[in-house]
Each structure stands twice: as C-alpha cells, then as structure tokens.
A and B are shown apart, each in its own frame.
Chain A
Amino acid sequence: MNALRSENSGVSIVLCGQAGQGIQTVEKLLTSILKASGWNVFATKEYMSRIRGGTNSTLIRVGSKPVRGFINRIDVLAALDKSAGGHLAKRISPETVIMGEKEVLSGFGDTGSFFEAGFSQAAKDLGGKVYANTVAVGALLRLLGIPAEEVKEPLERFFGGKSDEIIEKNQQALQKGFEMAEKPAEDFGAGLKLSGEPDVQGRMLVNGAQAVGLGALAGGCNFISSYPMSPSTAVLAFLAQNGGGLGLIAEQAEDEIAAVNMAVGAWYAGARAMITTSGGGFALMSEGVSLAGMMESPLVMHLAQRPGPATGLPTRTEQGDLELALYSGHGEFPRIILAPGTLSEAFSLAKKAFDTADKYQVPVIILTDQYFMDSYYNTETFSLEGLKKSSYITKTDKDYLRYKLTENGISPRGVPGFGEGLVCQDSDEHDQQGRITEDLELRVKMNDKRLKKLEAAKAETVQPSLVGAEDYENIIVCWGSNYNIVKEAIELSGRSDTAMLHFSQVYPVPEKAIEKLKRAKKTAVLENNATGQFAKLLKLQLDFEPDEKILKYNGMPFAADALSEKINEMF
C-alpha cells in the first residue's frame, strides 16, 4: 500500500459503475467532505454517451499538496458494477484496493486487493437503498485514514436544508461505512500519513465550465445564446442558472446558426454576448465567425472540444478543433484564440476575452475540451480586484461613421439609439458609413483596415508560461487543458533538466516564445490530437519544428504518471 502514502501524488480513488448508479453523488459528497476537512482534491470523469447503464468512471485524487490532473494509477477502486473490472483492467495493479459488493467483485480477475463490502444490506438495515452511497463514502474515508469526528460537520453541511432525520440517517450510514472498512484498512495498511491544510477549506472548488462561466460574468457577459451540445452545454446552463441576478439574458436558440447570429446582433445593440458550443456546432457557426469578421463585431465564442469528425465520441476529450477555430469562416480577417490551462486561467481569460473582443472588434475564441469542462479541483478564490467595467462604446454624433478608417484600423463603435448618429453594419463590403460598395480601391482599404487590427491586438498577447527547470535542456510544449498534466508528469519524472512551455494563447502565437524554444537542446510538442495541429501552427508562425511529437487521440486525456515514464524514455 505504498501508493496510499505517496507524498507527491496523494491517493487516487476511482468510482466505477453504470450511469444512474449514484457515482456522481458519491463523488460530490466525498470531494466536498474532503475539501471541507482541509484536503486538496481533484476529480474528473469519463463517461459514455448514454443516460443509463454503460460503464463510467470518476477519478478522485486527494492530497495534502495540490493534485490537479489525470493519472492512470488507481489506489482505491469503488466498484459499483461488474463491468468495472474489464473497463479498468489496464489501470488496476496488485496494490489497488478494490471494494464492492460480493457479486460485483466476481467480475474481477486475480489482480488487486479485495475488500468485500455489503453496502446495500447496510443501507437496507438503515431503512432505504438511498443510504448505500453514504455507506460507501464512509468506507472510503476510513481507508484514507480520516477520523470519523472530522467529517461529521462537513456531512451535515452537505445535507444542509434536509430534515434532521435525513441528516441523522446519513450520519449513521457514514458511521456504518467506517466500521465496515475498519479491518480492511488495517489489513491493507491504508491511511494517509499526510495532514490536511486548513487554508484549503476557504478555497473554491469549481470545474472548468463554472470557471469559464464566472470569467464570462466578470467580463461583463450579459447575453448568451446557444444550442446544447456536449461538453459545452454546462456553460450555457451555468449562465442560465446564475446570470439572471446579474441581468444576463440566456436563450436556447433553435440551432447554432441562430445562436451565433443572435450573438452578433446582441453586440451590435450593445450587449456583451457569447456563445458556447462544441466542434459540430462551431462548424455550423462558421458563417457567424465570418460575419463578425466583416462587420467588425466583437464576438466571444467558447468551443469545448470533443473527438470528431462529425459526431465523433460525444462525451470524450480531444484537442482536435484548433484548426477549425483557426480557419473557420471564409475570407481573411483577424481573430484571437485563447486556450486556458488552469481553472484560474479559465476565469481570467474568459474575462479578458470580452475586453479584447470589444476593444479590437474581433471574434475571440476560447478553446477548452471535455476533460477541462468536467474536471475540478480546489483553487485560489477568483479575484475581482481591479475589475473595472471598460466600455468601448462611443456615443455617436450626427456624422458618425461606423467604419471610419483609422491609423490602427479600430473605428469607434457606436450602438443604435445612443447618440445622434446612425449605426450601419454590413456583411457586404462597405464604405466608412457601412453602406454596400463595389469600389475596389475601397475594398482594399477596408480589408487592410480589418487585418491591421490583429497587429494592434498583439499588444494584448498572452505570453506562454515556462514551468519547471530554469536552466532546462528539454522543453515540452503544450497548450490548453494539458497544463496540469504535463506539469505533474515532469515533477513525477524527477527530471531537473526538463521544463514545460504552456501556451494559453494559441493564435496569434506569441512571437517571443521562439527565444525560449531555441534555448532547449531537445523539444517535444504534446497535444490531444492525431496530426499535431499546434505543432503545425508553430512551424507556420515561428518556423519552429520540434524533435518529437507526443500525440494522443483515443478520447482520453494524457495521464501524468504514464507521461512521466514517457519523458524519461524520450529525454
């Protein structure tokens, strides 16, 4: 049971079973109790595209140090269904403690340390099947070596608002679980040696979707129109549920085409609008990206990637849509693509997206993915410090020109009804007033004006972060959701000659990055796709070519532990 005492990577617990069996309840209860008692937690899930049945799993990591990424290793497996054995076979080792009901354990081979637990009987004794999940949580907490007294209060808080009877029953269920795991815990020598950090308690526990949603609100987002598509829907739902009190309008459009055209219309009238979608929906929105390009409309688009082409693997993860985001929409016009690596970055970049879009009147695309949307961990509470509502809207005068030719290409943007002028926006090539033109000289001027804005926007470029050894020999380049995975993999590899260069702005590629890349003896680009889309972009924009590419596209995220071995093989 060495794994259970790992200083660096804490304990890794996997819950596995069918959809509808209550995995999410266990996950929620366990993480909130652990976090409330001062433990760092991380959770992420992988699931099938179905509502009931199938085999789904959730990874929960607990540590006294921050734990923030996916790993393959399983220390404790709570199996709710026989199929867990086959589903997770490659991740189970002799040291994995597998707990579950008798008939569920029969679905496993010989590998693993087994702990037969009668959750349903215990629940029945307490008066109902509903308590089975709480019994399981009690057993897990005992295996982690967390004292029962410590979790009494957090449990009460979790069930806050429920009747005294329900709270009492759940306390008993938890206690039952503790007792059940008493002997196995001793047999397996389980228990965390580390202690929790009290200051974890006050931190936030959010997932990627919530971080993007909160960032959007901080960026002044007051309009969202979207059409549901996994894994992006959570942002729409989050804003619909939490934005109302802040005056946000949320509309489920009839399709993605309507959604994006609404968003451009809303910006025109002075709203700060966004859409959220996945690859298939973004493909439909291409015309809106192009419209924003021509109209010089600000637009914020959140694209949560999943494997394609077409409907692909609807509930899995991939970084396969960078090129879609980059080249979507016909014609030539500027855009900016951001890809947050951490939750706090998701907050700050979503906020920034609105400002940048507004200031330069360009589409800004936030690229995340299923893994990022569905993962959560405790993080520093997002700060609103220094937040000022920066409005770039001009009050118009009689002679107002929507597309006034200016030095840097940015024309003051008015909105209808605010001032004496008229605001005319056109999807056709237009003159300074916004009226259709077929003056070909003016066409060139207008095109130049639009493209020039990208140069201006470069002032706001988000520089990549270099993490790890200062005097590195090797660099692993990654972007978006791989931040925490690569960071941890390098730590686990124990290599002091290797660093990570993580890009949170993938387009335009920050030019200065080339200096850091050139200083490395050996470089690798790591991406969750099959063709190395960001590597291609690095070649195009920086004329940089890595020595290696590490690519994964089976629908699962990279695993920090497997990656650390790969690093040691490669460098």
Chain B
Amino acid sequence: MNADKFDMGNIDIAWCPGCGNFSILDVLKDSLAELEISPEQLVMVSGIGQAAKIPHYLKANFFNGLHGRALSPATAIKVSSPSLTVIAESGDGDMYGEGGNHFIHTIRRNPNITNIVHDNMVYGLTKGQASPTSRPGFKTGVQINGVVLEPFNPLAVAIGLDAGFAARTSITDKELTKDIIKQAVRHNGYALVDLLQPCPSFNKVNNYKWFKENTYRLEDTHDPSERDRAFSLACKTDKLALGVFYKSQKPSFEENISAGPEPLHEKRLDTDKLESLIKSFAS
C-alpha cells in the first residue's frame, strides 16, 4: 500500500517550521501503509496539544477528544468495534500529565491499542512550560529556577505494571521508529511507544543534537521477555536506550471480557431474553 493513501492533500498545518512532528507524521503514514491498514479501518484518537493535532493531518477516522483523555475513548472504541485499528497518539503532557491516571490504568486494562506519545519534554501548545518528562534544571517561564521535580519515567512505569509492549524510540532515528511503530500496532494488547521528539520552539536544551548524542539503540541481543533487565535499562536515564524494552503475551481487554468480534452497532437486542429477565422480577 502507498503512504499517499493517508495524505490530506494541501492543508494548513499548525506545527512550527522545522518541528519533529512533521517527520513523525511521515513515518506514521509509511508504517501504516506497510502494515496495509486502510484509512476506513483506522481510528486515530488524541487529546489536546500540538502532537494531538496529528489526526487532522492524516486521512483516517478520528476522535480528537479532550486534554489527557485519549486513552479512555480509544479503549471504548476498540472494545465496541474490535476489528478497527485504534491508535491513541498525543504529547507527553497529555498522556503522562493530565492523563496520568488513565495511562496507568490503561496499561492494567490492556486493550489492543497502540499508544504513541510524542515526548518533547515540554508543553508545546501552551508555549513552553515543563512537562512531566522535562529534565531537572530545565528553565521555563513558570519553572523560573529550573525544574526540580523528578521526571516521570514512562518506560519504568509501564514495565513495572507489566505492560504488554513497552518501547522507546526517537524521531532522530526514523528507521527504528518505523520498525517500532509497526511492531507496536501488530502487538495484541496495549503497546506504548514513547517517541522522543525535539521541539525547536520551546525546548532549546533537548534538541536534535542532544537526542542524537544522548540516545543509543538497544543491542540486538536484548531479550524483551526479560522484565528485570528491561526495568533496569528503563531506569537508566543518563543516556536513553531506544528499542523494544519489554514484551509480554497476555490476553487483551477485549479477549478478557469476551466482547466478541462483532461491532456493538450490529448486534440486535435479544428481546426474548430481556423479556424473561423482566419476568424474573414478577415471580
């Protein structure tokens, strides 16, 4: 399949010139095309932020909801219509800050969705405040003396919660990013892709060069079924490893609740069964 299938044509894109979001969009389209997913069968779900605008720039069904809330509707969409491919994609503020509680519990729930987080370590759309993943010392108009909070560690949290699939990549390594997105979409169950992304407008510290210098690919020998090893790698933050840290095979949310493959809108109410339920209150 050709990536053009997802093209929106000549549209006005609200991202800043030179932003990493453009490359993410391109890689995403390529990945989807290589996976042979049709726009009609794909639902992009996002929250609010610069990253969260991605569904608008790619041809597919979408649910562009509220700040921090991408994962809840994404879960419900998947379980209500299981044959759809559902991708929840937003920024680090959206997924880990406002949506932190949903992040934790979606991992526990394990719906078969892919969660791509544009991790630029800053709030873009609100013009440059610290995000949960901002590094200590990062100065902003709000954190005037630099960030003092411990950064949120999405990989460690996900692996700690025994996530089905936990990976980190960086848009400075497009090949790896494409490979990881494809693996994540194919994975049965919740799949986290923490996608490092430079924000040239508001994060002057963690720029392209910084990401190139401070990341490295996991060795080919890394075994993603080894949870302890994956966790200790996730805890290392001096240099950031890229790759699939951890994978575990377990039934998805839909399988656990036996929702069946049929979408809910096609199911007919069994009035005989309902009738007998009603009658059971009359005896």
Q: Which residues on A are within 8 Å of B, measured CB to CB?
A: 202-206, 210, 214, 217-218, 220, 222-223, 225, 242, 245-247, 249, 251, 253-255, 257-259, 261-266, 268-273, 287-288, 291, 295, 381-382, 384, 387, 389, 391, 393, 415-428, 434-436
Contact = CB atoms under 8 A, between A and B. Distances in A.
Given A245-B273, A249-B259, A263 B76 contact: yes
Contact of A393 (B65, B265, B268, B271): B265
Nearest to A254: B105
19 contacts: A242-B277, A249-B79, A257-B72, A257-B101, A261-B69, A262-B76, A265-B76, A265-B80, A269-B78, A269-B80, A416-B61, A417-B40, A417-B61, A421-B40, A422-B39, A422-B59, A427-B66, A428-B64, A436-B53
Interface stretch (B41-49, B155-163, B171-179, B211-219): B41-49
B57 to A, nearest CB: 10
Interface in B53-87: 53, 55-56, 59-66, 69, 71-81, 83-84
B233 interface: no
B281 A416 contact: no
Interface in B28-45: 39-41, 43, 45
Given A251-B79, A265-B76, A266-B77, 7 more contacts: A214-B277, A247-B264, A249-B79, A261-B65, A381-B278, A415-B265, A423-B61
Interface string B133-158: 00000000000000000000000000
A221 to B, nearest CB: 9
Contact of B268 (A223, A266, A389): A389
A400 to B, nearest CB: 10
Contacts of A424: 55, 61-62, 64
Nearest to A387: B271
Nearest to B268: A389
A428 B80 CA distance: 24
Contact of B81 (A263, A269, A428): A269
Contacts of A249: 79-80, 257, 259, 264
Report the interface size class on chain B. 35 or more
Contacts of B102: 254, 257-258
Interface string B103-114: 011000000000
B275 interface: yes
A435 B76 contact: no
A417 B41 contact: yes
Contacts of B238: none
B279 interface: yes
Contacts of A223: 76, 80, 264
A295 to B, nearest CB: 8
A290 to B, nearest CB: 8
